[in-house]
Chain A
Amino acid sequence: MKRRNLSWLTLGVFLSSSAWADMQLNLTKGVTEISREVYDLHMLVMYICTVIGIVVFGAMFWSMVFHRKSKGAKPATFHESTKVEILWTAIPIVILIAMAIPATKTLIEMENNDNSDVTIQITASQWKWHYKYFDQDIEFYSVLSTPREQYENQLNDSSEKGENYLLEVDRHLVIPANKKVRFLITSDDVIHAWWVPAFAVKQDANPGFINEAWTKVDKPGIYRGQCAELCGKDHGFMPVVVEVKSEEDYAKWIDEQNALNAQAAEAEKASLNASMSMDELMTLGETTYVAYCAACHQVSGLGLPPAFPALKGSPVAMGDVNEHISIVFNGKAGTGMQGYGKQLSLKQIAAVVTYERNAWGNSTGDMVQASDVNASTGGGNGDTGTSIESEVEAVADKVEQKTAEIVAVVEESAPTEDLTKEYSKDELMEMGEKVYLASCSACHQPTGAGLPPAFPSLKGSPIVMGDVTAHIDMVLNGSAKNPAMASFSGQLTKTQIAAVVTYERNAWGNNTGDVVQPAAVDAVSAK
């Protein structure tokens, strides 16, 4: 009795705890013509199987109920009947042919990769995706953005899991709707498989070979999938997220990306001139290390030998600097160590190498600057033809130009800066957007989504949605915890800061409704 109560109780707990309504039981219909055909095919086979099942199991249960010995059934003696046997061979063949016809039709359509409008090169590596737009200069990595605390429950039990737990990435692949998009899929290391259920596209990424697949999506939206081929340790942690935009939005996005690329290239060159202090290098190095290296080499630097060697006391981290930089930049053939030259900025590589050479008792005292990395590797993203000197000159020019621009902006508003002036929300938003795009978007991205973990998302961020004073303080004085967040008090006027804070608090769905006036910024800065 007691036990029965207990079992009902458990059952009750399970039923109430589960969101049965949200649960998906069947294959998705998806958002492409192909995926709908696939769904129909799936349903067709399932119905056929169900009918056959009912007939066969029905006959079986019939004899189990009515032809049982306990009921006094006497066994019949019939066996072998050519007629029956031909029948039950022929009927399945007919059914199979009926199934094979639509399957063949769909398959032929699926395999027709020709005449595409957009081509995207997808390269998998352990454990991220790299997307490159064939006819644009746009390429980026797409990495899981679910914070480590959310899935490492051994460490922290309390962390709440987000809505798209394990199915979210830092940068979405963006494709246009209603266009035939062709994917060229390959891999840098082991075999992976690129899969988005809503498109019914699953294609293996084979190292050294390219595979093709295509899709034509009719509904803009965000579609999520995962790697579908065991690819090592973090196979479960490399989701695919595709954002389908309308054609206009897609064109806008392309322009935005091109503008950003230009900015990033400048920032990269500017970093060649900048020299960072040991502390700065170590702090940036640590954030970068935790984000990109710790999955394999572990936060402790002890690695997971033998596949992922320890860095603590390792001959690479303690030995020749150039060798060390080269391995981080280019990877190491025949091992799981991939090159980060395309993924990290020169500054980040410099910082992470410095960090690895000085953390966990590897006290070599070596300091590596971005320019060292550039010298050692010949520049990752820079133009190859030009020498470093000319590059540096060009950069210096651009930096000057940029500074001049900023100064101009500042001067434009400076003489007229009236801290008591009250602006309307629209004015602030308009000015804020400009300032944001000029000064903030390189890191936090025009979409506000940032590049986590180094550059957090502002969309829905606790700082932006929280206390106004703290937010102003952050923009004015930078972050104490994250060195990547610089102080803007010297670069922007108070009016500009007011505008950008207002913008951040109301853009991208952060509809706090807060309007920050220059006076408020002045008050915070006076503290």
Chain B
Amino acid sequence: MNKGNNVQNNETQEQPSNAQKNKKVLSKLVLIVFGMFGFGFALVPLYDVFCDITGLNGKTNESAASYSARSVDETRTVNVQFISRTAQGIPWKFEPMEREITVHPGETKFVKFYAKNESTQDIVGQAVPSVSPGLAAAYFQKIECFCFNQQPLKGKEEVEMGLQFYVDPELPEDISTLTLSYTLYDITGKVDS
């Protein structure tokens, strides 16, 4: 009992300051917690920016680039390979009409991809590009690409889709082959909703 009283006396003296101090630190820490939670989400756009700069994941530009190469570098050639995949569940035939072309950096080229909706239903497709090596992605400039838009196809409809691009002459010297891969996804459901 004696001891209990002691406790009370002691703490009533110190309490206001202590509790206030605690509250101050606590609110700062809670702020950090929320800040870090937000930071977790901020990592998403940050990652995209980071990828843009470094070509980390081989994502290419998502909207049209305007042609800005100063000149065509005729002394150098770059092989550009095209590959395609269709994702699960999309009944389309989708392939490049040319497998590989050779370009000079700075030169504009036009290639076509063929797509056909093999089913009788109307389907909206979306091609997602990826470039390897990832570093080259930043130098692969699409002026016009079917992948900028969704591609709706009626049942049994077929289409030839164009891609106009140039390879930036700034492309690092040690890259002589780059591969552009398209994966085609069915986004009908997402478009509807």
**A residues near B, CB below 8 A?**
112-116, 119, 121, 123, 134-135, 182, 184, 186, 188-189, 207-212, 322, 326-327, 329-335, 337-339, 377-379, 384
Residue of B nearest to A111 (CB): B133
Name 21 interchain pairs, CB-CB below 8 A, sorted by A: A112-B174, A114-B175, A114-B176, A119-B81, A134-B99, A135-B99, A184-B179, A184-B181, A186-B181, A208-B128, A208-B130, A209-B59, A209-B130, A210-B58, A212-B132, A212-B179, A337-B89, A338-B88, A339-B86, A339-B89, A378-B156
Interface residues of B in 118-165 (CB under 8 A from A): 118-120, 128, 130-133, 156, 158
Minimum CB–CB distance for A211 against chain B, Å: 7
Q: Which of B81, B119, B133, B183 makes the CB contact (< 8 A) with A134? A: B81
**When the two chains form the complex, which single residue of B83, B88, B130 contacts A339, counting CB atoms closer than 8 Å?**
B88
Contacts of B31 in A (CB 8 A): none
A426 to B108, CA, bound (A): 61
Task: Please encode chain B, from 72 to 109, with 1 for each CB lying within 8 Å of some chain A CB and 0 for all others.
Answer: 00000000010101111111010000011000000000
CA distance A379 to B116 in the complex (A): 12
Q: How far is the CB of B171 from chain A (nearest CB, A)?
A: 12
B120: A residues at CB distance < 8 A: 322
* A379 closest partner in B (C-beta): B118
Chain B 49-70, CB within 8 Å of chain A: the 1/0 string? 0000000011100000000000
Q: How far is the CB of A194 from chain B (nearest CB, A)?
A: 14
Q: When A and B form their complex, which 8 residue pairs have the shortest distance between CB atoms, in order from nearest? A: A378-B118, A333-B89, A331-B88, A330-B91, A209-B130, A210-B132, A210-B181, A332-B89
Residue numbers in B under 8 Å from A186 (CB-CB): 85, 130, 181, 183
Residues of A within 8 A of B119 (CB): 326, 330, 377-378
Q: 17 additional contacts, CB 8 Å, given A115-B177, A189-B88, A330-B119?
A: A114-B176, A121-B83, A134-B83, A184-B83, A184-B179, A186-B85, A186-B130, A186-B181, A209-B130, A210-B130, A332-B89, A333-B186, A334-B89, A339-B89, A378-B93, A384-B118, A384-B158
B113 contacts A by Cβ under 8 Å: no
- Among candidates B58, B88, B90, B156, residue contacting A337 with C-beta atoms closer than 8 Å: B88
- Distance in angstroms between the alpha carbons of A207 and B83 in the assembled complex: 14
Q: Nearest-CB distance from A367 to chain B (Å)? A: 21
Note all chain B residues with C-beta closer than 8 A to A339: 86, 88-89
Could you say which residues of chain A place their CB within 8 Å of the CB of B99? Answer: 134-135
B167 to chain A, nearest CB (A): 14
Contacts of B85 in A (CB 8 A): 123, 186, 188
Nearest-neighbour CB distance to chain B for A140, whole angstroms, equals 16
Instruction: Among A184, A333, A334, A377, point to the contact of B118 (Cβ < 8 A).
Output: A377
In the complex, what residue of chain A is closest to B174 when comparing beta carbons?
Answer: A114
Task: Knowing A184-B83, A184-B181, A210-B181, say if A384 contacts B89 (CB, 8 Å).
Answer: no
- Which residues of chain B come closer than 8 Å to A188, judged between CB atoms? 85, 87-88
Q: Is the CB of B185 within 8 A of A184?
A: no
**Which residues does chain A contribute within 8 Å of B90, judged by CB atoms?**
330, 333
B118 touches A209 (CB 8 A): no
B14 to chain A, nearest CB (A): 35
Given contacts A123-B85, A330-B90, A333-B185, contact A115 B133 (CB under 8 A): no
Docked Cα-Cα span, A112 to B86, in Å, equals 28
Complex Cα distance, B93 from A327, in Å, reads 15
What's the least CB distance linking A271 to chain B, in Å?
Answer: 18
User: Which residue on chain A has the smallest CB distance to residue B58?
Assistant: A209
B91 and A113 form a contact (CB under 8 A): no
Which residues of B sit under 8 angstroms from A331, Cβ to Cβ?
A: 88-89
Asked if A330 meets B83 with Cβ closer than 8 Å, knowing A208-B128, A210-B179, A377-B119, the reply is no
In the assembled complex, the Cα of A336 lies from the Cα of B186 at a distance in Å of 15
* A37 to B159 CA separation, bound complex (whole angstroms): 50
Residue from A113, A184, A330 whose CB has the most chain B CB atoms within 10 Å: A330
Find chain B residues with CB under 8 A from A377 CB: 91, 118-119
Shortest CB distance A122–B (Å): 11
Say yes or no: A115-B183 contact (C-beta < 8 A), given A209-B130, A331-B89, A333-B89. Answer: no
B59: nearest residue on chain A (CB-CB)? A209
Measured CA separation A10–B63 after assembly (Å): 69
A68 to B86, CA, bound (A): 71
User: Which of chain B's residues have a CB closer than 8 A to the CB of A208?
Assistant: 128, 130, 183
| CB proximity of B137 to chain A, nearest CB, Å | 10
A211-B132 contact, Cβ under 8 Å, with A339-B89, A377-B119: yes
Q: Give the shortest distance, in Å, between A343 (CB) and chain B (any CB).
A: 13
* A123 contacts across to B, CB distance below 8 A: 85
Q: How far is the CA of A400 from the CA of B118 in the complex (A)?
A: 29
Name which residue of chain B comes closest to A121, CB basis. B83
Cα A186 to Cα B86 in complex, Å, equals 12
A381 CA / B118 CA spacing, docked (Å): 12
What's the minimum C-beta distance from B95 to chain A, rounded to whole angstroms? 10
Cβ contact within 8 Å between B88 and A333: yes
Q: Which residues of A contact B156 (CB under 8 A)?
A: 378
| Complex contacts, A334 vs chain B, CB 8 Å | 88-89
Cα A379 to Cα B93 in complex, Å, equals 10
Distance in angstroms between the alpha carbons of A330 and B184 in the assembled complex: 13
> Which chain B residue shows the least CB distance to A113?
B133
Q: A212 to chain B: which residues have CB within 8 Å?
A: 132-133, 179
Tell me whether A326 and B181 are in contact (CB under 8 A).
no
Contacts of A184 in B (CB 8 A): 83, 132, 179, 181
Chain B residues near A114: list those with CB within 8 A.
174-177
The residues of B that contact A211 with a CB separation of less than 8 Å are: 132
Name the B residues within 8 Å of A115 (CB-CB).
176-177
Q: Complex Cα distance A497/B135, Å?
A: 59
Taking the nearest CB of chain B, how far is it from the CB of A302, in angstroms? 23
Chain B residues with CB under 8 A of A121: 83
Residues A330 and B89 in contact in the complex (CB < 8 Å), given A119-B81, A377-B119 = yes
Residues of B within 8 A of A189 (CB): 88
User: What separation, in Å, do the CA atoms of A342 and B179 have in the docked complex?
Assistant: 23
